[in-house]
Amino acid sequence: MSSPVNFQRLSPDAVETAAAYAVQIAKTQLDQMRQLGVAPEGIRFLELGPGTDFGPALILASMGASVIVADRFLSEWQEEHHRPLYRRLVELWPGPNSQLLAAVEGGYEATTLIRLAEPAEALSSIGDATIDFTYSNAVLEHISEIEAVTREIARVMKPGAKGAHQIDLRDHRNFDRPLEHLVMAESDFLITSVDVHNEFGNRLRASEFDAHWNARGLAVVKRYLDGAAPDYVADVLPRLRKAHSSYRNWPAEDVQVISSLFLIEKPLEPQTDASARAAFSLSLMAQIKALSLFEAAHQPLEHGADFRDIVLPADGFQGPDGQLWVCVSQEIPEGDSIGVTRSEAILLEDGAPLGPAGSAHDLIRTRGGGRYSHWQHSLYMSTKDGTSPRDNGRTYTLRVRR
């Protein structure tokens, strides 16, 4: 399993880029707060998933906000990166900077930031109705238990509190092909997302987030949506309609949304009718997904004039490297490469599909379990039970599009 992004070592060379990004995010935060009629002075501000640095949070704290940052994988101070980063932010930020200066001089312990190593699904250190503003940027798409997160956000917000939540709905593995994770077979997606801590997105669409907000009694004041390029949508929709995915029958206008900003508020009085309608909408969405999976389960594995089977010879496998075996052959058509996800190949073991496809080679090596990757003109694979494909007596077939 890969290490969470927030725990990886940060390069001193990234300081300039990180500083410019922090300034951009801080300006965006203040603009979103202005749209909702909120000033930073004196408010209690909660940021979920602040990332590898707390620059925007320190800026808001310098402007008079009491700021809490919460993350399951809370980033720790890295001397060679954070001190020069905050020193650079002091130079770039034109407004109050007292908390940035405090971080430069004494690290996070010298600031007023409250840092919680807690997941958004369980903010146990934060009391009910104590937060004036909730915020997240490209965080909620990485969370599997979205019901628990929206419940916690609603719980900690005061009546009348506001929030801004930017959600990136793209497949994070390749932003040029942002809807490929919707096409993945359900089992492939679930296994792969666990392997990488949901870092390439949970697949939920904008309408689902909308309904989750309302189901928890939160009103969406404004929403801003961006869509994928029309030519790419035209390419992905036919594949999605045939995929073994819970989204195969999802409305096209919601499928194509790749970014959504929700500006929310907690009404002063409970909105029971709106919550009930949203709960009913979520129930209908769950039924659409269940019917899609039932339909997919009764659809034969794609095979016909558009596909051909390549039987992989047992003596063609090289390895093992951990649980990874490699089969190199010019018979295998070109698959994925750096920055390009093109393969639709299905690996069969005695006629039964393995997976997940497109797995990271390190995960194939360390975890096996049938994971595989069609990479360039090679197949990187593992068997279901860890045995050798050279001598376990099974037939391995790669089904590829002609």
- CATH number of the domain within which 80 lies: 3.40.50.150
- Number of structural domains (the chain) is 2
Q: Does the residue 360 lie in any domain? A: yes
**pTM to 2 decimal places:** 0.79
Helices (H), 339-391: 361-367
Residue 143 has phi, psi (to 5 degrees) of: -110, 130
User: Is the domain of 196 the same as that of 164?
Assistant: yes
How much is the pLDDT for 398?
93
Those residues whose C-beta lies under 8 Å from the C-beta of residue 333, and which sit 6 or more positions away, are 377, 400
Boundary (domain end) residue, out of 292, 319, 352: 292
Please indicate, yes or no, if residue 26 is contained in any of the structural domains.
Answer: yes
* Contact of 191 with 353, CB cutoff 8 Å: no
Task: Tell which of 241, 258, 292 closes a domain.
Answer: 292
Is 150 in the same domain as 13? yes
The pLDDT of residue 300: 63
Residue 331, sorted as left (phi over 0), alpha (psi -120 to 50) or beta, turns out to be alpha
Amino acid present at 241: R
The answer to whether residue 302 is domain-embedded is no
Q: Which of 76, 88, 73, 65 is nearest to 16 (CA)?
A: 88
Which residues in the chain show pLDDT less than 70?
A: 1-3, 196-197, 299-305, 339-341
Task: Give yes or no: residues 193 and 277 share one domain.
Answer: yes
d(CA 327, CA 345): 14
Helix (H) or strand (E) holding 279, with range, is: helix 272-297
Q: Residue 364 belongs to what domain range?
A: 307-401
- Cα angle: 151, vertex 154, 159; to 5 degrees: 160
Note whether 73 and 40 are same-domain residues: yes
- Shared domain for 168 and 217, answered yes or no, is yes
Cα–Cα distance list, 62 to 90, 100, 113 (Å) = 11, 7, 10
Residue that is last in its domain, among 292, 323, 347: 292
Do 94 and 200 lie in one domain? The reply is yes
Q: By three-state DSSP, how is residue 399 classified?
A: strand
- Do 322 and 286 fall within a single domain? no
- Quick one: CA dihedral 55, 58, 63, 68, positive or negative? positive
* Distance of alpha carbon 234 from alpha carbon 131, whole angstroms: 43
